[in-house]
Chain A
């Protein structure tokens, strides 16, 4: 499955549904996250809506719709690719490739309209991490330019 794509995120959500008990135990998660992949004109953006115990919708958006999200995580394609490949290799993110580990020094840039929205990234971090960890079960192919 191609990364990034709506199909890829839905495939991860399908895996999350298999692990519904784990996500229920982690608790409610109400946030919309914009993932920005790549830079410039070729950048792609996806808004993932999390509600209750998991992702309820995903859509690809253009720059003008970016404000619809509570917060944004953006990085070069290479950063995303390294993270996804690392998860695939280890079955989950290793110590160097968790979302917070990548975000704190700025490899993944976190932004939001205000601090309250930015803090949602921390408030639901366990759910987001578990969601991305489940991508280890999704056969992933990267776009030609994904290492750019």
Chain B
């Protein structure tokens, strides 16, 4: 029934107290918690279900018609409604944001307009562990979401709200917006090069969906703008997987070779031990590198299909890099122990720079690029000149982004400024 079975469980104090009040034996509660969450069990306790009724329900048998559906408070409310009495407490609450009327900007009603309208900027430390909207009234007792990222510096970037708006407005469709009908057969070497390149990109792109998805639920809802932006990023990367997979399979070629080296780079991001480490690796290093690869892809496009797909992906990627750079800046500027944070990030950066070579000295990446740049396998030497330009741009722009964020890699970078080949 479940893959979550554990040897022992911790019973939350609140639940233990409720169980005692409902005369549930503690061992029964513990066994229930091996298969079900405390929140699922609380729903049964709230309804004053007996332990036997709860056990029967959790065993998956047909519903016990005597088991209560409503909590005592709900039953009282139903009785009141039957008697024509409404609660109306929601009309009497103190509403901190009541009376707010946001003005519109030229493009409609943006998150920035809303935040400006009621001093809705997030606080440095999230005031609750709930999903209650920032600006709303919250009951004094609530279950708690278990967020682990509750400080602004851990996830914020000052440009995140406009980036979200931009992301939503600049969405595109792989099926509709790429002129697939213009795809024409290519010479075998060029098709193979494009397909190898697209195999690599199909493989790597969705790490930038998986990584934010892994961290999203840990981020306090108080900082909803970040979570919303990361949702757009997850969608963007899904689209990137789609476009490169479609291109590889659309023109007589196919998906080619995925390298273990690439997998190592991706695992490095997905399993980063903290959000800042992973965000630096993914948004600043990885997506910065891929942004230049997209630019090179547009440069080397053999037809309008490739031109459009690389250009559109380039736009999406640039937004992600922008968030990552500004998040790194915010993180460093607001970290309670900046020196320690910088030391950690320098170590992460040095590993990442050494990891760069897994891409920039990977024959399955740079040789297809060189074949595309040279116009065929016969001119691969000429094409390598373009690869060298890409190397230089990647390292230059990486250093520029670190400068902007306040992480001085210029004096420490282990990668040479020029390609070693």
Contacts and interface: CB of A to CB of B under 8 A. Distances in A.
B111 to A, nearest CB: 13
A95 B318 contact: no
B397 A27 contact: no
Interface in A35-88: 51-53
A123 B318 contact: yes
B311 A125 contact: yes
Contacts of A52: 106-107
A30 B112 CA distance: 15
Contacts of B301: 95
B314 A122 contact: yes
B166 A101 contact: no
B318 A119 contact: yes
Contacts of B215: none
Contacts of A144: none
A67 B325 CA distance: 22
A26 to B, nearest CB: 7
A84 B383 CA distance: 27
Contacts of A53: 107
Nearest to A24: B169
B170 interface: yes
Interface string B317-357: 11101100110000000000000000000000000000000
B307 A98 contact: yes
A115 B303 contact: no
Contacts of A118: 397, 400
Nearest to B326: A116
Interface string B147-179: 000000000000000100110111100000000
Contact of A51 (B106, B311, B317, B389): B106
B312 interface: yes
B299 A116 contact: no
B170 A27 contact: yes
A129 B311 contact: yes
B107 A28 contact: yes
Contacts of B291: 119, 122
Interface in B382-403: 386, 389, 393, 397, 400-401, 403
Contacts of B169: 27-28
B298 A101 contact: yes
Contact of B315 (A105, A114, A124): A124
A100 B171 contact: no
A114 B400 contact: yes
Nearest to A115: B400
B100 to A, nearest CB: 24
A32 to B, nearest CB: 15
Contacts of A129: 311
B404 interface: yes
Interface in B230-269: none
Interface residues of B, number: 38
B295 interface: yes
Nearest to A53: B107
A30 B298 CA distance: 22
A104 B299 contact: yes
A126 interface: yes
Contacts of A101: 298-299
A105 to B, nearest CB: 7
A116 B325 contact: yes
B10 to A, nearest CB: 46
Nearest to B325: A116
Task: Pick the most buried of B171, B314, B393: most chain A CB atoms within 10 A of its CB.
Answer: B314
Contacts of A26: 170
Contact of B295 (A28, A95, A100): A100
A148 B389 CA distance: 27
Given A123-B319, A125-B315, A95 B307 contact: yes
B296 interface: yes
A115 B311 contact: no
A100 B401 CA distance: 20
A100 B314 contact: yes
A126 B325 contact: no
A5 to B, nearest CB: 27
Contacts of A115: 325, 397, 400-401, 403-404
Interface in A94-143: 95, 98, 100-101, 104-105, 114-116, 118-120, 122-126, 129
Nearest to A26: B170
A120 B106 CA distance: 20
Contact of B322 (A27, A28, A116): A116
A100 B299 contact: yes
A27 B107 CA distance: 10
20 contacts: A26-B170, A27-B171, A28-B107, A28-B169, A95-B301, A95-B307, A98-B311, A100-B298, A100-B311, A104-B296, A115-B397, A115-B404, A116-B322, A116-B404, A122-B314, A122-B318, A125-B314, A125-B315, A126-B311, A126-B315
Given A51-B106, A115-B325, 6 more contacts: A26-B170, A28-B166, A105-B389, A115-B397, A118-B400, A126-B312
6 nearest A-B residue pairs (beta carbon): A27-B170, A27-B169, A115-B400, A123-B318, A122-B318, A28-B169
